């Protein structure tokens, strides 16, 4: 089964010039989802993971499933003012705009082995900010993994000090 069949291209969303990669057809199909999860888990080659950190909001879907599969904790990284407890923040740039991201201060313990997950690696700004948050709390980044990578945006360069895996590349 080819998982790329379940990624839908939406031209001009959320604004002109963006080719949006819609993962909802994949989320809706249990077989495609299971297949995708297996590819992402296999890429870790049995490495132990204590926490999976997912970036708001599309990193939560498979991030949570990955955490369950790996018997790891799940940590949500959210947009500003969404998390109720004390937070740390990091600034980032998007393919469309800029913002900051936050994580609870007790989400990662020093020495935790961390997998970072998001749906798309585009310019790498989001992933870089998530890495910063994890390292601020003393976590060790084992891998950054993505459902897909938009290689022409060169996001890998921003997170080149970490192992990066993408199930699909465009």
Site residues (vs ligand AMP, CB under 6 A): 18-21, 55, 58, 94-95, 118-127, 155
| Tokens read off for 100 | 């900051």
Cβ at position 10, least distance to ligand AMP in Å: 8
**Shortest reach from residue 61's CB to ligand AMP, in Å:** 11
Question: Of residues 33, 56, 58, 102, which has the active-site annotation?
Answer: 58
Residue for token pair 């989400």: 107
* CA dist., res. 74 & res. 60, Å (int): 9
At closest approach, how far in Å is the CB of 111 from ligand AMP?
Answer: 27
Which residue, 82 or 109, has its beta carbon nearer to ligand AMP?
A: 82
Tally DSSP H helices, then E strands, for the chain. Answer: 5, 9
Q: For ligand AMP, which is the closer residue by CB, 111 or 152?
A: 152
Q: Shortest gap between Cβ of 168 and ligand AMP (angstroms)?
A: 12
Closest among 66, 74, 32 to 47, alpha carbons compared:
66
Active-site residue, from 69, 78, 93, 95:
95
Active site residue 58: yes
Closest by alpha carbon to 104, among 78, 71, 143? 78
If the CB atoms of residues 112 and 119 are measured against ligand AMP, the closer one turns out to be 119
Query: Is residue 8 among the annotated active site residues?
Result: no
Which is closer to ligand AMP, CB of 72 or CB of 127?
127
Whole-angstrom CA distances from 117 to 9, 15, 92 are 21, 25, 16
First to last CA, the chain: 18
List residues with catalytic annotation. Answer: 58, 95
């Amino acid at each position: 089964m080819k998982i790329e069949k379940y990624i839908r291209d939406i031209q001009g969303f959320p604004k002109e010039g963006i080719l949006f990669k819609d993962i909802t057809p994949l989320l809706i199909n249990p077989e495609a989802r299971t297949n995708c999860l297996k590819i992402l888990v296999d890429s870790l080659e049995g490495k132990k993971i204590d926490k999976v950190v997912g970036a708001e909001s599309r990193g939560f879907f498979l991030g949570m499933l990955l955490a369950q599969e790996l018997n790891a904790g799940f940590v949500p990284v959210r947009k500003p003012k969404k998390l109720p407890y004390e937070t740390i923040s990091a600034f980032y740039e998007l393919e469309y705009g800029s913002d900051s991201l936050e994580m609870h201060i007790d989400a990662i313990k020093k020495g935790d082995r961390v997998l970072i997950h998001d749906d798309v690696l585009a310019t790498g700004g989001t992933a870089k900010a998530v890495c910063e948050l994890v390292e601020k709390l003393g976590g060790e980044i084992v891998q950054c993994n993505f459902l897909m990578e938009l290689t022409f945006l060169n996001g890998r360069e921003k997170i080149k000090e970490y192992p990066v895996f993408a199930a699909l590349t465009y």
